[in-house]
Amino acid sequence: MRFLTEEDLRLLYRNSPFAEYRIEPGTRLTPGGRQFLNDRGVRICGECEVAGRGGMAGKPGAETPGNPSAAPASAATHTAPAIPHELLALRRAQSIFLNTGAELLEHSVVTAGEVFELERLLAAAAAGDFTKEPEFPACTGINAENAGELLEDCFEVTGFHAQLEAGKEIVRLHGLRCELRCLEAELSGGRKRAVRIMINRLSQMICRALGGTTCQRKD
């Protein structure tokens, strides 16, 4: 069982204020954490999932069959912001993308713009919004059916690629892909899938920078 404290929630709220907080399975609020949410009028959802395991059923804002005052979450409602360690990992990745995008402006404005777009998608994932996805042109190795899967790199990036005309672009994009692979291992649920899509989009961008028309991905 994991406990969310007032300090955890204060960090989340400061970075991205929210009107609703959904309790993830296996997570409980401390009294201070609950009071923090109540003081700001944040609706607490999902506590019925832990009630059967000793959770706090029937508390204000809990979504239980016997609590008609708790309005059901609409399909458009975003999930709760990432838990603290996920949020910090996502923020770290955002800063790396911004820095890399700024460096790529000297080499390719188009690629830099795509990197900045991916940074915005990381911000959306941190807020629990998975409705936004990068433009994903299908290629012979990656398409809409497998874009959300954890695919291997299309080819190994080595010192040979670093010496090519587009070497700096390839190496920087590969660095972002490695960062996202580490991030993906720390995430769960929709955030994990969102980052996998970004990883595969970076693979396409690396192939484009390399040039040629033959897909390099090995199944």
Q: Where is average pLDDT lowest: 30-34, 131-135, 171-175, 184-188? A: 131-135
Q: Is residue 160 part of a domain?
A: yes
Decide which of 33, 65, 80 is a domain's last residue: 80
Neighbours of 207 (CB within 10 A): 22
More confident residue, 99 or 29: 99
> In this predicted model, what pLDDT tens digit does every residue of 63-114 receive, in sequence order?
444 444 444 443 334 455 556 788 889 999 999 999 999 999 998 999 999 9
Decide which of 63, 80, 97 is a domain's last residue: 80
Number of domains present in the structure of the chain: 2
Alpha-carbon distance of 43 to 62, in angstroms, equals 8
Rounded mean pLDDT, 151-168: 91
CA torsion through residues 144, 145, 147, 148, sign = positive
Alpha-carbon distance of 102 to 167, in angstroms, equals 16
Average pLDDT, rounded, for the chain: 79
Domain that holds residue 106: 84-210
Give me Rg for the CA atoms of the chain: 21
Same domain? 66 vs 89: no
Alpha-carbon distance of 53 to 24, in angstroms, equals 13
Q: Is residue 104 part of a domain?
A: yes
Decide which of 80, 95, 110 is a domain's last residue: 80
- Global confidence as pTM: 0.61
Same domain? 62 vs 91: no
Q: Is residue 217 part of a domain?
A: no
- Residue 8 in this model has a pLDDT that exceeds 60: yes
Q: What is the pLDDT of residue 78?
A: 44
Alpha-carbon distance of 4 to 197, in angstroms, equals 29
Report CA dihedral (150, 173, 178, 159) to the nearest 10 degrees. 120
Same domain? 1 vs 109: no
Q: Is residue 117 part of a domain?
A: yes
CA nearest neighbour of 164 among 129, 208, 102, 133? 208
Q: Estimate to the nearest angstrom the gap between the alpha carbon of 62 and the chain centroid.
A: 26
Q: What is the pLDDT of residue 135?
A: 77
Q: What is the pLDDT of residue 68?
A: 40
Same domain? 76 vs 103: no
